[in-house]
Amino acid sequence: MRRMLMENVDPAAVPQRKLSNGMIIPGIGMGTFGNDRYAPREVADAVYGAIKAGYRLLDCAAAYGNERDIGQVLARVFAEGVVQRQELTVMTKLWNDMHGKGDVLVACAKSLRDLKLDYVDVYMVHWPFPNYHAPGAVLTGRNPDAVPFSVEEYMSVWRQMERLVDMGLVRSLGMSNMTVTKLEQVLPLCRIRPVVLEVEINPTFQQPALFDYCMSHGILPVAYSPMGSPCRPERDTEEGDVVTFEMPELKEIAETHGCHPASVCVKWAVQRGHVPIPFSVYEKEYVENLRCTTEDFLTEEEMDTLKRADRNARLIKGKVFLWEEAESWRDIWDGEDERNNCKTTEA
């Protein structure tokens, strides 16, 4: 009975974004990273509910361990007529252990088989190096096989990604977890340029320099952890981490609008112009995340308040990928967080 009473959101009312290659995608998507807390079937059930509620963008990844279950859901919604394939944007990602010669096609083929699709709309390189960890990894020291970023290694992967577009298996390409430093090195070498970059962005970690760089280069930022990832894996937590929902500015705006701070995070993201991909297995939450993008918008003053409230506080640090010579997790991000801090102090 509860499913019959589900609140739906008209997909046509959801803001849309045009990619540099002309593709149109929704301005908000449903994330599917939940394998640290939820079984694949639980995530897939949430995806089914989300599509029925009006979501038309899904963010998947081989590393999340649930593509097979999500594929069953996709086959179901197509068979039931809930949505047609061309109405759905499906993004997924190449995992770090499939960077070798010939591996990218194999990995893509497996994702397509698991998702029960003929093509994916956006295929991304998940991390810019082959440093691998098993799902749910805990920090027990650094992997001796881990290596720092290499332009040569990355471009060998990207050339394989480009061939997937040529083969019609992928409509568009994307990158993930890159920095301006890395983008400046690889973009001039790309035959097919990325249309999206998926990175951490939320009100406490706005990445203005990276955001501006992407927008000026025809790359749409896609935001994971758009609410500050309060349920992120323990390996990415540190003492003193910012709690996004406790930001005074965020709480005050939420009180003004009579909503949860999570809704303000989503509204802020969509109005700023990047694409948030929040995840929840709870129907009330994922429906509200979608619905709030269609009404009761933030004022220019509220948007400016949040812009000035940026704490430059990265929460997803990637420590599990560190190589032996690295001084700290900040090396993964090329020290750009520290430079942002200096600019904030100067301002």
Give the mean model confidence (pLDDT) for residues 82-93: 98
Q: Is 118 within a domain?
A: yes
Report whether pLDDT(346) > 60. no
Q: Give the model's confidence band at 273: pLDDT under 50 very low, under 70 low, under 90 confident, else very high.
A: very high
Report whether pLDDT(134) > 80. no
Query: 């008209």: which residue's tokens?
Result: 10
Tokens for 298? 């933030």
Give the mean model confidence (pLDDT) for residues 223-244: 79
208 vs 241: which has the higher pLDDT:
208
Pairing of strands 16-18, 24-26: antiparallel
Range of the domain at 289: 11-346
Give residue 324's Cα distance to chain centre.
27
For residue range 140-178, list pLDDT tens digits in order. 778 889 999 999 999 999 999 999 999 999 999 999 999
Provide the 10 A C-beta neighbour count for residue 134: 9
Q: Give the model's confidence band at 133: pLDDT under 50 very low, under 70 low, under 90 confident, else very high.
A: confident
Query: 């009761």: which residue's tokens?
Result: 296
State how far the Cα of 307 lies from the Cα of 208, in Å rounded to an integer.
Answer: 9
Domain count, the chain: 1
Catalytic residue (choose from 38, 48, 55, 64): 64
Do the annotations mark residue 126 as ligand-binding? yes
CATH number at residue 55: 3.20.20.100
Pairing of strands 89-94, 57-59: parallel
- Residue 311 burial (10 A CB sphere; 0-12, 13-18, 19+): middle
Q: Which pTM value belongs to this model? A: 0.94
- What is the pLDDT, as a whole number, of residue 236? 67
- What is the pLDDT, as a whole number, of residue 138? 66
State how far the Cα of 28 lies from the Cα of 246, in Å rounded to an integer.
Answer: 23
Q: Is 37 within a domain?
A: yes
- What is the pLDDT, as a whole number, of residue 3? 46
Tokens for 22? 């002309």
**For the chain, how many residues are written?**
347
Percent of the chain with pLDDT over 70: 91
Q: Is 4 within a domain?
A: no
119 is catalytic: no
From the list 261, 255, 325, the residue with the least C-alpha distance to 288 is 261
Q: Is 25 within a domain?
A: yes
Give residue 333's Cα distance to chain centre.
17
Q: Is 6 within a domain?
A: no
Report whether pLDDT(279) > 50. yes
Contacts of 299 (CB under 8 A, 6+ apart): none
